[in-house]
Structure 1
Amino acid sequence: MQTTRRVLLAGMAGAVALPAAAAPAPSRAQVLAAMRRATAFMTDKAAVHGGYVWSYLPDFSRRWGELEASATQVWVQPPGTGTVGHLFLDAYHATGDEAYYAAATQAAECLMAGQLPTGGWNYLIDFGGEAAKAKWYATIGANAWRMEEFQHDWGNATFDDAGSSEAMQFLLRMYLEKRDPRFKPALDRALDFVLNSQYPNGGWPQRWPAGRPFTKHGADYTGHITFNDDVAGENIKFLVMAAQTLGDPRVAPAIRRAMDVFLITQQPAPQAGWGLQHRVDDLKPAAARSYEPLALTTHTTAVNTAQLMTFYELTGDPKYLARVPEALNWLAKVALPRPRPDGRTHPTFLEIGTDRPLYVHRRGSNVVNGAYYADGDPEKTLAHYSAFRLVKLDELRARYAALKATPLDRVAANSPLTHKGALPRFFANQDFATSDLNGGGTMAPLKVSPETVSRLLADLNTEGYWPTPLLATSHPYKGPGPKTSTPGDYSQTHVGDDFDTSPYPTDTPVMGVSTSAFIKNMGVLISAVDGA
């Protein structure tokens, strides 16, 4: 799902149709002034110690990351502090204005202040201290029914949802920009974090070092080899960036081990796929959160298959393509008889050994009395975790065929593993998935056109932000939920009863401040300035 903004220009109707005069494109000076005003609002009013959450009410009386945040918290998880920092560095590259470098520096210093001793990050940073963080976890976090990763303070760093990875990538860019030594110690700790947490077989856990087993089913799933939310792929991305720029001799072997873990965890035919996570000892799929049963997963298999083709492009090593056809054949075999009305082609979970679809449901009304379970019934499945996925199998097959047809000596001719070079100038305009319900689930960039630029300048309000409908909200914390289920059907809702603090889409959105809207809109203006 992509959220893009389309500007429609109305023509004039009459007996004689004449072309409407196009509005003059905003001048470079006007665009630069709007960028500075929007940035000043974020740095001076929205930021906490240089960091950001995902959305705010206009009076800042409430604010949210993936959950409601306190006034002393910032979010590491994208589109949070690191994403905004990337944007400011992008703006600096486009304009040369040192104010953006200063804003990026504030975001970097925020992340450095919240970096854990191991070198990684949690989802959030709380500048209110340990007592404030403990209170948040005991109230808002503990009562977010579907947000199991926030129900306890695990006391360690996470690779989930690219938070640590994005922070590391941003700190690398900041250090490389001017070789400012203030960023080097934190960057070194981050690199050590990735290397030290990698298992000998090349995989990474979801969290590191090991935390306490808080899950309802008694096992700490966070220590398994994790592919979910592209944990391995994001870490490889950072290591490739480091290989291009830092010259650390530890990096190249770690990249190879990371790529090879995709090979050793692929299951044997005829079920040649992957799970969300795999056990370290026997490399078999493992269950994770209580709505992620032990199963093979089609979207993970599609992503990992694409990653193997990327690894082939990086290395030219045919071993990464060797079992791609087996994965594609399995995906073809388990496809739905026909796509669903929304275009989705595959069930999410397939039972190991049978290929029987597993559909996840829930009963109850909150975290106290609720529970998740899986069966073979495709009706009334979860709204917050899709039972079906879109797998673009034809595109995967076409990419594989194109790679096979490419002469081997040309496959990795310009690989960043062998050709050092500068990093891309812009990062924040990348298209990536996000859990931010206000952002529509993606950070897909908006189309750049004079009309779009004109509209963005007109929509920027006098305070300096783009008023945005906040499509998601949450119930304020009101205490632990009752042990008996509240009447009602919560099986297909994002949120349970009034005691559930999970975010949910609202039918009555209020206008507010959206960090994802700021990033997208600024991305358009950056492109307009850079192309002028």
Structure 2
Amino acid sequence: MLKHLAPVLFVALSCGTALAGGPQPTVVEARGAIERAGAYFRDHLGVAGTYVWKYSLDGQKRVGEGGAVPASIGWVQPPGTPAVGAAFLRIFEVTGDKQWLQSAQLVATALVNTQLESGGWFYKIETDPQKAATWCYRALKVSGKSCHDIKDNPHRNETVLDDNNTQSVLNFLMWFDQASGGSDPDVRTCIDKALHRLMKVQYPNGAFPVFFTGSAPGADVETAAKASIPASWSHEWQKPDRPPYFIVNDNLPRDMGRLFLNAYRTYHDPAYLKAAEKVGDFLLAAQLPAPQQGWAQEYDRSMQPVWGRKFEPPGVVSRETA
């Protein structure tokens, strides 16, 4: 049996049960529950500061998206490694006990050590030194040529913005940087590198690619300024093959906008505010005309809705619009 463990959820469920069915827990009891959950993650489930989505009850089976992962793999995509690091920071905020800041430091170090040369993070990260050599991690000082020459790993330098992946890392690292008083310069260097790299791959219209290794795919292609609805569209899936494609799916613009607003509030760099404003400009341009003035999941260079994956036809979608 697998459990989708998360300290915050554990505490919320524990407190909710107590409030509904019996006397309210005392402050001491609540703190004890929080710290036991945090200690269990840190001391029994963590691997070199990394975590995954789900664990078997004995902690031996570790699962990310798509199934079981080896013992040396940490998961980034929420609720993975950054989410647990953020839970440690929250425990530190609540208790003032520095052991939790130190626990968050282990997570921060793991993420700094697995930042890709492209600037961000893939869905998963490798903690085994020998296996890590198949990735273009900045900490390994991999040059452009040596990164290119790595075999049998097509994702070796692929930054992922899908599903709040890289964004969740940076939001955690910025929180840690503030909570620790900037005690680890490597963390700040990592943050600066990632944010500046993200600004470089932002499309002129304010959108972001879902994945990248170098420049944004199709960044030099002229695109329409405003969304429109095509006169007709294929009811059969058509595989996207000519970038650029501009993605609203899975709340990519929302997560990028929140990231840069957070960065601006944290470091007061006007470039971060400008990046967030450009995201807003893209969303205004991507709003479809009447009578259904919502948003699609994916647009082509004409700023018209197009097929994404086979279950993502062109059209107005409720989740992203909401």
* TM superposition shift of 1:271: 4.2
Match of 1:198 among 196, 202, 214: 202
Matched, 1:276 2:278: no
What's 1:93 paired with? Answer: 93
Asked if the contact 1:205–1:222 (Cα under 8 Å) also holds between the matched residues in 2, the reply is no
The answer to which structure has the higher helix fraction is 2
1:160–1:231 Cα contact (<8 Å) kept: yes
Does the Cα contact within 8 Å between 1:202 and 1:254 map onto a contact in 2? Answer: yes
Compute the displacement of 1:59 (Å): 2.9
SS in 2 for 1:56: strand
Residue 179 of structure 1 is matched in structure 2 by 182
Shift, 1:30, TM fit: 3.6
CA shift at 1:197, angstroms? Answer: 1.7
1:430-509 to 2 correspondences below 5 Å: none
The Cα shift of 1:9 comes to: 8.7
Which one of the candidate residues 14, 17, 22 is aligned to 1:7? 17
Partner SS for 2:78:
coil
Q: Which residue of 1 aligns with 2:288?
A: 267
RMSD: 3.0
Output the CA distance in 2 between the equivalents of 1:195 and 1:49. Answer: 30
Instruction: Return the match for 2:251 from 205, 221, 230.
Output: 230
Flag the structure with more relative contact order, 1 or 2, with Cα contacts below 8 A and sequence separation at least 6. 1
Q: 1:193 to 1:9 in 2, by over 3 A?
A: closer
Q: Is the 8 A contact 1:57 1:63 kept in 2?
A: yes
Matched, 1:291 2:311: yes
**Structure 1, residues 187-242: CA drift from partner, whole Å, max 9, x if none?**
1012113211211111111112369x9xx965458852111111111111011111
Segments of 5+ residues of structure 2 without an aligned counterpart are: 1-8, 135-152, 218-236
Structure 1: gaps (5+ residues): 12-21, 135-150, 304-532
- Contact 1:206–1:222 (Cα < 8 Å) also in 2: no
SS in 2 for 1:7: helix
The answer for the alignment partner of 1:244 in structure 2 is 265
Shift in Å, 1:277: 1.4
TM-score relative to the length of structure 2 = 0.74
Counterparts of residues 297-312 of structure 1 (less than 5 Å):
297-300=316-319, 302-303=321-322
C-alpha deviations, 1:319-345, integer Å up to 9, x for none? xxxxxxxxxxxxxxxxxxxxxxxxxxx
Matched, 1:160 2:162: yes
1:226·1:276 contact (CA, 8 Å) conserved in 2?
A: yes
Shift of 1:10: 9.9
CA-CA distance at 1:160 after TM superposition: 0.8
Residue 33 of structure 1 aligns with which residue?
A: 32
Bigger Rg, structure 1 or 2: 1
Change beyond 3 A, Cα 1:283–1:94: same
**Cα gap change, 1:10/1:42 in structure 2, threshold over 3 Å: closer, same or farther?**
closer
Per-residue Cα deviation, 1:443-462 (whole angstroms, up to 9, x for no partner): xxxxxxxxxxxxxxxxxxxx
Q: Is the 8 A contact 2:207 2:279 kept in 1?
A: yes
Contact residue 292 and residue 316 of structure 2 kept, 8 A: no
Work out the CA distance in 2 between the residues paired with 1:27 and 1:127. Answer: 39
Rate the CA distance shift 1:29–1:265 in 2: closer, same or farther, 3 A: closer
Query: Following the alignment from structure 1 to structure 2, what is the Cα–Cα distance between the partners of residues 85 and 222?
Result: 36
Residue 253 in structure 1 maps to residue 252 in structure 2: no
Contact 2:239 2:308 in 1 (8 A): no
Amino acid aligned to 1:183: V
Partner amino acid for 1:297?
Answer: V
Q: How does 1:44-123 map to 2 (within 5 A)?
A: 44-67=43-66, 68-123=68-123
User: For 2:320 and 2:95, how far apart are their aligned partners in 1?
Assistant: 41
TM-score, normalised on structure 1? 0.46
Q: Provide, for residues 67-100 of structure 1, a one-character-per-residue CA deviation record: whole Å limited to 9, x for no partner.
A: 2211111111111111111111111111100011
Is the Cα contact below 8 Å between 1:158 and 1:207 reproduced in 2?
Answer: yes
- Shift in Å at residue 35 of structure 1? 2.8
Q: Distance in 1 between matches of 2:177 and 2:46?
A: 22
Structure 1 residues 277 and 234: alpha-carbon distance in aligned structure 2, compared to 1, 3 A threshold: same
Distance 1:222 1:70 in 2: 34
Paired residues of 1:89 and 1:101 also in contact (CA < 8 A): yes
CA contact (8 A) 1:226 1:278 kept: yes
How many residue pairs are counted as aligned between the two chains? 269
CA distance in 2, matches of 1:76, 1:268: 37
**Are residues 264 and 34 of structure 1, via their aligned partners in 2, closer, same or farther at CA, if it must alter by over 3 Å?**
closer
Q: Distance in 1 between matches of 2:302 and 2:19?
A: 60
**Per-residue deviation, 1:257:** 1.3
Q: Is the contact between residue 74 and residue 124 of structure 1 (CA under 8 Å) also seen in structure 2?
A: yes
Deviations 1:333-387 (A, max 9, x none): xxxxxxxxxxxxxxxxxxxxxxxxxxxxxxxxxxxxxxxxxxxxxxxxxxxxxxx
Q: Per-residue displacement from partner, 1:294-316 (whole Å, max 9, x unpaired)?
A: x113224523xxxxxxxxxxxxx
User: Are the structure 2 counterparts of residues 210 and 182 from structure 1 closer, same or farther at C-alpha, using a change threshold of 3 Å?
Assistant: closer
Classify 1:70/1:251 alpha carbon distance in 2 versus 1 (closer, same or farther; 3 Å). Answer: same
